[in-house]
Structure 1
């Protein structure tokens, strides 16, 4: 067996994980696509935070350091791809929309019971589907500037609290104008947009754990359940209730 084939087999696996379990920070020589057919997976990388669920997988290019945390009883599927032949851009992690067909391919490709010939055919179709898949931008980029990192940590500690940008700036020792510029320059979005992303990612975790839509809206800082539903549908293409039902 070639060294390349051995590496891919090591990166391709299916396993069950209890809610709250983790996989410590690590990286791979080759690319990997991670997915959960049950439960929710939070992926922390140097580029930011990502959430995988039944309709979202996370693409991890070779060399990217990452760690995993599982929410709810989870079925984890990981697929390795050779560094020389990435089916998706190898520049940065990204969220990949998972259609019902792609879901079945991901589960099959990680099945250890398949023969080498069957695996080869499944992977060929999987590559074609990945090239046609849509990439979803919802993530939480990691800040580099210490002032911005401190501001994000303060806001992340209590997503339900709407801390004004001026107050964050004062607490981290920056001007409001400077902090606003850092959000746009480093994270590519305004502070309100970043805070919405933070709340949406927290909402996905709560919903997957069985929290009601109303409770999730309140815990994540929306003033009304209807505004939460509208924001969630616009960002993820489905209502919170639909997402909750699918992930559970």
Structure 2
């Protein structure tokens, strides 16, 4: 979709698709289970990295109390998912629409500081790498192998990752993996299966990386009824 803007505020929610929303300031990754609030008149484009189900809602600014000036990632709770589905089914004249919108506005909550934000690069060489890793976070290739894949030098790719995402390749890949892991864990996957799905051979290495990235253990995100994962042992202190 080409870049455009409109006066209405927009809420995008992905059920199973993976989307990127391009804005003048940065690109936003919207993986399954996440939402993005786009204020009115924000120039944006939408592209699909992985096809699936999702929803887009537009809200008239005169009826919306939300005043966020920039695109903002939002938590999508089960109740909010049901409200989004209801609003997608109803027209603007439906008598239930105004109260449903009011409740949806009250439930929209910016993602917490510890949530993983992933910036998508725009240079076509690093963008190709980024899209492949978003589609398959378990891909084990290091930057030298990717350099051969996109016909660019390792130093060039390393510089571009830092310039366009603010992170080294390794740190950016870790963010992609941990963000994918959060969705898998909240969807009921075990810590062990999640670790393998996002590229970690040992659950202990996954737990340690998860804790460094979020400040919490994977058990924080486990679905109801799942047992908490074992914590890795503390490092040995020198005698």
TM-score over 0.5 for the pair: yes
- Aligned pairs for 1:104-183 (under 5 A) are 105-112=83-90, 116-130=94-108, 133-135=109-111, 138-152=116-130, 159-169=137-147, 172-176=151-155, 178-183=156-161
Q: Which residue in the other structure is 1:11 paired with?
A: none
2:35 pairs with 1:57: yes
TM-score by length of 2: 0.62
The offset of 1:50, in angstroms, is 1.4
Contact 1:232 1:239 in 2 (8 A): no
- Indicate the RMSD between aligned Cα atoms, in angstroms: 4.2
Give 1:167 shift: 4.7
Shift of 1:245: 7.8
Tell me if 1:45 matches 2:21.
yes
- The alignment of Structure 1 onto Structure 2 pairs a total of residues equal to 211
CA pair 191-245 structure 1, distance change in 2 beyond 3 A: farther
Q: Which blocks of at least 5 consecutive residues in structure 2 are unaligned?
A: 227-239
Once the two structures are superposed, residues 129-162 of structure 1 have per-residue CA deviations (whole angstroms, 9 ceiling, x without a partner) of: 43xx223553443322234334435656763344
Query: Which residue does 1:91 correspond to in 2?
Result: 70
User: Paired residue for 1:21?
Assistant: none
The offset of 1:204, in angstroms, is: 5.7
Are 2:187 and 2:223, in contact at CA under 8 Å, matched by a contact in 1? no
Q: State the shift of 1:186 in Å.
A: 0.9
Summarize the alignment of residues 223-242 of structure 1 with structure 2, pairs less than 5 Å apart: 223-229=201-207, 231-232=209-210, 235=214, 239=219, 242=222
Contact 2:138 2:199 in 1 (8 A): yes
- Check the 8 A contact 1:139/1:197 in 2, yes or no: yes
Deviation of 1:96 after TM superposition, in Å, equals 0.4
C-alpha spacing 1:244/1:181, structure 2 compared with 1 (3 Å): farther
Q: Give the CA deviation at 1:195.
A: 0.5
Q: For residue 234 of structure 2, what is the aligned residue in structure 1?
A: none
Please give the secondary structure, in 1, of the residue aligned with 2:68: coil
The 1:224/1:186 distance shift into structure 2, 3 A limit, reads same
1:33 corresponds to which residue? 11
**Which protein is richer in strand relative to its size?**
1
TM-score for both structures, normalised by structure 1: 0.61
Q: Secondary structure at the match of 1:141?
A: coil
